[in-house]
């Protein structure tokens, strides 16, 4: 039967869609155990009265008013098109091949 540490490595690898051999898992198991033990230290930290954070700073997203405004003229927009067809951007077909 596999050790709990070995099972954690195998499960983590499966979740990450990584294929690892049993030998690799046995090598990684003690390393994973040490890493997870370090995270256990966090459970002893006193966070009483500490307000939860949603980000590293208190800055909020800067937004602008959503107001209508004139768009680029069609000719200016199509000047950047690699392929212009009948006043529109021309793109290759994604189904059925050809142009």
Q: pLDDT digits over 29-75, tens only?
A: 999 999 989 999 988 999 899 888 877 877 777 888 899 999 989 88
Per the structure, how many domains does the chain have? 1
| Residue appearing with tokens 């499960």 | 11
- The pLDDT of residue 4 is 86
- The pLDDT of residue 82 is 87
- Assigned domain for 59 exists: no
- Assigned domain for 90 exists: no
By the 8 A CB rule, do 9 and 25 touch?
yes
For residues 64-92, give the mean pLDDT: 89
Mean pLDDT of the chain: 87
The domain containing residue 12 runs over which residues? 4-40
Q: Half-sphere exposure of residue 77, counting CA atoms within 13 Å on the CB side?
A: 10
13-45 per-residue burial string, b: 16 or more CB within 10 A, e: under 16: eeeeeeebeeeebeebbeeeeeeeeeeeeeeee
């Amino acid at each position: 039967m596999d050790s709990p540490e070995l099972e954690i490595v195998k499960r983590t690898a499966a979740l990450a869609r990584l294929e690892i051999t049993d030998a690799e898992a046995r090598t990684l198991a003690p390393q994973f155990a040490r890493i997870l033990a370090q995270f256990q230290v966090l459970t002893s930290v006193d966070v009483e009265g500490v307000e939860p954070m949603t980000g590293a700073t208190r800055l909020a997203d800067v937004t602008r008013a959503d107001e209508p405004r004139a768009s680029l003229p069609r000719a200016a927009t199509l000047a950047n098109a690699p392929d212009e067809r009948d006043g529109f951007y021309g793109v290759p077909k994604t189904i059925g091949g050809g142009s």
